[in-house]
Homo-oligomer: A and B are copies of this chain.
């Protein structure tokens, strides 16, 4: 085991050949089943049947059912992250990048919530149980956030006194009500104004 604990592995719980046609088939089947019936109501025997192999064979590729859940969850979160990164790239100023980062995350998460409730529940569970997929996602968001802030400091748009780590972790915490799936659901009413208010608050705090 050479797993890096400090940098959660999104491919945790995987086994056997890393890129194998069957692995992808399992993931595709799992995505479809989890979305239609939910993680709990899907049995690994169902997935086995869907790909046309025996249940035991599934375990050549994943250590456990939860590992499959991880993979699907990581995929969902990855889609959100990709959209967020795209939104960030569209913006020119660090301020605007900052806004778009969190707006995109909330928008995409809300979309998932309404369109694929069952996958959203999986992601919510991943977050509350602190699965590697969720931790990895948060780490990616924080990395992106840090880059934006550093950029803003270079351009003189943001203040430079506060230690960058402190700023980042504080912002991640302050935005938790919109990042953590369960909280997002809880704070749905009031969106998107409530989020804008918090973003404005933080941006005022970043002002030089």
Q: Point out residues on A near B: beta carbons under 8 Å.
A: 128, 159, 162, 166-167, 169-171, 173-174, 176-177, 180, 183, 186-187, 194, 197-198, 200-202, 204-205
- How many angstroms between the C-alpha atoms of A207 and B100 in the bound complex? 25
Q: Is the CB of A170 within 8 A of B200?
A: yes
- How many angstroms between the C-alpha atoms of A37 and B8 in the bound complex? 39
- How many angstroms between the C-alpha atoms of A117 and B197 in the bound complex? 34
Copies of the chain in the assembly = 2
A197 interface neighbour in B173, B176, B194, B202, Cβ under 8 Å: B173
Q: Is the CB of B201 within 8 A of A167?
A: yes
- How many angstroms between the C-alpha atoms of A176 and B174 in the bound complex? 8
A-B contact pairs, 8 of them (CB 8 A): A128-B186, A173-B174, A173-B197, A174-B201, A176-B176, A176-B177, A204-B204, A204-B205
Please indicate the chain B residues that have their CB under 8 angstroms from the CB of A167 in the complex. 201
Please indicate the chain B residues that have their CB under 8 angstroms from the CB of A201 in the complex. 167, 170-171, 174, 202, 205
> Beyond A177-B177, A183-B183, is A166–B128 a contact (Cβ under 8 Å)?
no
A171 → chain B closest CB, angstroms = 7
A174 interface neighbour in B128, B159, B174, B180, Cβ under 8 Å: B174
A170 interface neighbour in B176, B183, B198, Cβ under 8 Å: B198
Residue ID in chain B nearest A169 by CB atoms: B197
Q: Is the CB of B186 within 8 A of A173?
A: no
Please indicate the chain B residues that have their CB under 8 angstroms from the CB of A186 in the complex. 128
> Beyond A183-B183, A204-B162, is A198–B173 a contact (Cβ under 8 Å)?
yes
Please indicate the chain B residues that have their CB under 8 angstroms from the CB of A202 in the complex. 174, 201, 205
Q: A166-B200, A174-B202 are in contact. List 17 more A-B contacts (CB 8 A).
A: A128-B186, A159-B204, A162-B204, A166-B197, A170-B200, A170-B201, A173-B187, A173-B194, A173-B198, A174-B174, A174-B177, A174-B201, A176-B177, A176-B183, A177-B177, A180-B183, A204-B205
Please indicate the chain B residues that have their CB under 8 angstroms from the CB of A170 in the complex. 194, 197-198, 200-201
